[in-house]
Chains A and B, each alone.
Chain A
Amino acid sequence: EVQLLESGGGLVQPGGSLRLSCAASGFTFSSYAMSWVRQAPGKGLEWVSAISGSGGSTYYADSVKGRFTISRDNSKNTLYLQMNSLRAEDTAVYYCAKPPPYGDFNWYFDLWGRGTLVTVSS
């Protein structure tokens, strides 16, 4: 079955760090650019970051640039998001998302995980 499964969310204090993981299965993970998209409680969707299939190219939204780092381990079929210097406004459900076979880092998404909730609060 083709699926994405996020983990690693939780409660963290402002200024703290958290690492999210996304385990992929059912497709050739290394062939796809992958993204993180977040959704604050009761709000819309916001693209956060993307990484090429090889991991050699990374892209970030201005709101997280310099604080978040996206990476991947193709041998483990896993995508990561290292989040540092967290702020209250980073509170959201974080989804990993995959484009279709011909898509690149800036594309639509045909597969989403269930998401993991990150809460930044003291």
Chain B
Amino acid sequence: EIVLTQSPGTLSLSPGERATLSCRASQSVSSSYLAWYQQKPGQAPRLLIYGASSRATGIPDRFSGSGSGTDFTLTISRLEPEDFAVYYCQQYGSSPTTFGQGTKVEIK
């Protein structure tokens, strides 16, 4: 199965700053079938990005995804207070689908 490694584990930033989160796959992700989720404490994950770069319905344009092959990036252009959360990547190009271990974006 494909192992996804997210970095950094924790990102300490201030509101208004840019956040860059990385997701690296152990082998190439077919057709850029990679998604990103946001999760806040006590809540279910929320879909942000699918197909590596397509924003889900209702997701603000400060969230963007990029990458292909084995290297993918989620960028939050300017952090809003509600963006401080844990972010997970998921690949669905190979079975079984797998998730990264998460990156926590915390307030500095």
Which residues on A are within 8 Å of B, measured CB to CB? Answer: 43-47, 59, 61, 95, 100, 106-110, 112-115
Chain B: residues with Cβ within 8 Å of the partner, total of 23
- The number of inter-chain residue pairs (CB within 8 angstroms) is 50
Q: How far is the CA of A61 from the CA of B97 in the complex (A)?
A: 9
Q: Does B96 lie at the interface of the complex (its beta carbon under 8 Å from any beta carbon of A)?
A: yes
The smallest C-beta distance from B9 to any residue of chain A, in angstroms, reads 11
Q: Is the CB of B50 within 8 A of A108?
A: yes
Partner of B101, one of A44, A95, A114: A44
> Which residues of A are found within 8 Å of B92, using beta-carbon distances?
106-108
> Which residues of B are found within 8 Å of A113, using beta-carbon distances?
44
Which residues on B are within 8 Å of A, measured CB to CB? Answer: 33, 35, 37, 43-47, 50, 56-57, 88, 90, 92, 94-102
In order of increasing CB-CB distance, the 9 nearest A-B pairs are A112-B44, A108-B35, A45-B99, A106-B95, A44-B101, A108-B50, A44-B102, A107-B92, A47-B97
Q: How far is the CA of A107 from the CA of B35 in the complex (A)?
A: 9
Q: Is the CB of A44 within 8 A of B44?
A: no
Q: How far is the CA of A90 from the CA of B3 in the complex (A)?
A: 20
Partner of A45, one of B46, B88, B96: B88
Q: Is the CB of B96 within 8 A of A114?
A: no
Q: Is the CB of B96 within 8 A of A44?
A: no
Q: Is the CB of A108 within 8 A of B88?
A: no
Q: How far is the CA of A107 from the CA of B33 in the complex (A)?
A: 8
> Which residues of A are found within 8 Å of B95, using beta-carbon distances?
59, 106
> Which residues of B are found within 8 Å of A43, using beta-carbon distances?
101
Kindly list 10 other residue pairs between chains A and B, CB separation below 8 angstroms, not including A44-B99, A108-B92: A44-B88, A45-B88, A45-B90, A45-B99, A47-B98, A47-B99, A107-B97, A110-B50, A112-B44, A112-B46
